Structure 1
Amino acid sequence: MSKVKILHVLHSVGGVDVSLRLILSNLDPNKFESVVVKGKTDTDRAFYDANHAKIKTYNCTIIRNISPLNDLKALKDLQKIVKEEKPDLIHAHSAKGGILGKLVGHFKKIPILHTPQAYSFLSVNSKIKKSAFLTIEKVFSKLNNKILASSTSEQNRAINEVGYETEKALIFNNSIKPIDEIKPLSIRKTWPDEYICSVGRPSFQKNIELMIEILAELKKKNSQIHLVLMGVGFHSPNLETIKKLIKKYNLSKNISLLEWTEREDIFHIIKKSQLYISTARYEGLPYSIIEALALKKACVVTDADGNRDLIKDNHNGFVIFDNNIKEFNQKIELLLSDNELKKQFEENAYQRFNSNFNINNTIQSLERIYLNNLKK
């Protein structure tokens, strides 16, 4: 049997990039051949398969924002690549990758799977923009394609808001390898031994403003509370606002802002923390929380897409509704004071990871999805 060729199309940054690398490095290379098409200004790191062989990669003008000239050029480039590669299936990732992939797949009669990794219409605060982005998704849902959601929440949005038929809204949970080794920090530690942590760039999506408000309230009862916030160095449009809030609440000694660093450092910091928090407005299925589960960490998170798919309230953490700062503080204080409860949540966290988000146990389901959606 010849290999099935999968063409991956994406704006390869952040969690989208992480997702693709995990998929490529775990697919059976005896059954699948992968080709990647990404933006010219995306990561320049090579992609590798499970045999550590470098994967063929094309660069074209795929960018995050809408740009008619760049988008048209990217579409023409992608059509040429598809004509040359003749893939059996296109797996489009991210909003822009989804639009380009769906168009080319429609023109070339190639099956398309689209993984949004958080729908673009969730990323804007403007009702007009949100309506426009949702309309675009609805229009493109009518082409010959299926959603391959990264979480149950994303799958539900595809059906209930975008308008996909239930049988055209599939799911493959974002998944990672077990984290078996914690390496020493490659950066200098400048924070206390006892701290809580999070990963999140200051942006509308991550809602770090709420996190600072929570920290300010925690400090009223615990002057030694400390937050290590990772990931503030890449595309952080609200960073100056966050710095002003830190100064307003006199929190400079209670928070460490770390620019993006090696994943091994992130693992180390999460592992040594007391617990993990997230104030996100929406997610696809956040890798940082999956990593926290794999590292046996209890979590306190907002009731957002992605968060609620990973954290079961009062089982492996707490889910906070309506951005309730008082409730957030009460649950964090409870876990910091009740060691037995925290230990139980930590064990539940690891069990939940291993059952649902361990890629060693889930990759076969993705392979079946690929095989079941080839052109008849």
Structure 2
Amino acid sequence: MPHIRYFLNKGYDVGVAANTENSDVSRIEEFGVTIHHVPFSRKLFDKGNLKSYKIMKNIMKDYHILHLHTPISSFITRLASSKSHKVIYNVHGFHFNENGKWTTNQLYLATEKIAALKSDKIIITNLDDLKIAYKIASEKKICYVNGVGLDTNLYNIEKFLSQDKQTIKLELGLDQNKKILTHIAEFNDNKRQIDIVNACELLKEKTQDFIILLVGTGENFEGIQRYIQEKHLDKFIKCLGFRKDIPRILSVTDIGLLVSIREGLPRSIMEMMAMKVPVVATNIRGNRDLVTNGENGFLIPIKNREEIAKKCFVLMSNEDLSNQYGEVGRQIIEDYFSIETVLQQMEKVYRELDIV
């Protein structure tokens, strides 16, 4: 949304094309932009994407600049674009990755090479993808930007007094004296909430002074809830669903979690770091751009409930260490990942394309 606001402030007419089905677009509508519903699918070979291609072909007649996000919709839109468009592709993590299948990785690598031919700029947001990007497109097309930027004023723990935190815990039904561990992500196979549930089973053998908050919704939401009940872990794990008050939730969080298999540059970790929350995250692309093991959190192997439980217990048992990691995390966000920093980087890209 800051990028939308940026172009509006420059006097541009802005439109947003996305699959808005079952989505709340009210915050975007408040900008007064045109919203186009396009039935993009996350699956490359979905017949709905052929329909999306035709719809985008028609929509983009009224636009000169295409700033694209997410792999499949960006691939479709780039194929549909013409020479009259300035095309910017913001990569939030290539679909191929270190933990993907070889055949799938090769397929997505090939699609990126094809689509790169119709891209004026390809914006990379993590160092692992940057290494690969030079194999996909010419060096002059590649730009490195620190994600989409974070509002460090909004995500600021100093705004929350002790009384505020007590009230928030009361609203969420949380014990005032227990440590709060928070995982923010869509419920799907990639995000691996199941590993957190399994880690909880181990962690409660060492201490019972904690509650895990699983924030988000998705296709696995009900399945994870059933699994929690089957494991009799209801008193240790709360599924909060979709939330719009992430800064409030993070203000009462002691440890942040993200245990995905694949990421680009995860916003949830940036939010946690900005709120001075130490992080336990999987050692994958994107996560390791933000978390340095032993400096502002811990990096652990994927699908490893033992390490999740172990590192969480270390942080729960050492408040000084947790505070130290939190302070370091906040400084990293202020120095490199604030919205001000990112918009400056983006403006440089726009100027190279002579569009601002």
Residue in structure 2 matching 1:342, options 322, 328, 335: 322
Q: Which residue of structure 2 lines up, in the alignment, with residue 225 of structure 1?
A: 210
Q: 2:182 matched to 1:177?
A: no
Distance 2:332 2:149 in 1: 12
Q: 2:38 matched to 1:60?
A: yes
TM-superposition CA deviations, 1:35-82 (whole Å, max 9, x none): 322235263525659xx7412333333333346653333223322332
**% identical equivalent positions:** 20
Mapped contact 2:276–2:326 kept (Cα < 8 A): yes
Q: 2:180 matched to 1:198?
A: no
Q: 2:117 matched to 1:142?
A: yes
Distance 1:60 1:118 in 2: 22
Q: 2:51 matched to 1:98?
A: no
Equivalent pairs, count: 343
Mapped contact 1:40–1:62 kept (Cα < 8 A): no
Which 10-residue stretch deviates more, 107-116 or 289-298? 107-116
Mapped contact 2:99–2:261 kept (Cα < 8 A): no
Gaps of 5+ in 1: 1-20
3-state DSSP class of the match of 1:221?
Answer: coil
Which 10-residue stretch deviates more, 92-101 or 325-334? 325-334
Distance 1:63 1:322 in 2: 27
Gaps of 5+ in 2: none
Relative to structure 1, the CA distance from residue 202 to residue 28 in structure 2 (aligned partners, 3 Å threshold; closer, same or farther) is closer
Alignment of 1:8-23 (within 5 A): 21-23=1-3
3-state DSSP class of the match of 2:261?
Answer: coil
Distance 2:169 2:190 in 1: 28
Cα displacement (A) at 1:342: 1.3
CA RMSD of aligned residues (A): 2.9
Relative to structure 1, the CA distance from residue 327 to residue 228 in structure 2 (aligned partners, 3 Å threshold; closer, same or farther) is same
Q: Which residue of structure 2 lines up, in the alignment, with residue 9 of structure 1?
A: none
3-state DSSP class of the match of 1:211?
Answer: helix
Relative to structure 1, the CA distance from residue 30 to residue 110 in structure 2 (aligned partners, 3 Å threshold; closer, same or farther) is closer
Relative to structure 1, the CA distance from residue 361 to residue 146 in structure 2 (aligned partners, 3 Å threshold; closer, same or farther) is closer
3-state DSSP class of the match of 2:294?
Answer: coil
Counterpart code for 2:260: A
Relative to structure 1, the CA distance from residue 58 to residue 323 in structure 2 (aligned partners, 3 Å threshold; closer, same or farther) is closer
Distance 1:288 1:41 in 2: 23
Counterpart code for 1:169: I
Counterpart code for 2:70: S
Q: 2:253 matched to 1:273?
A: yes
3-state DSSP class of the match of 1:82?
Answer: helix
Counterpart code for 1:94: T
Alignment of 1:111-260 (within 5 A): 111-122=86-97, 128-159=103-134, 163-172=136-145, 173-178=147-152, 179=154, 180=156, 181=159, 185=168, 188-193=171-176, 194=178, 195-231=180-216, 233=217, 235-237=218-220, 239-240=222-223, 242-260=224-242
Distance 1:254 1:59 in 2: 40
Distance 1:42 1:370 in 2: 32
3-state DSSP class of the match of 1:191?
Answer: coil
Structure 2-normalised TM-score?
0.84
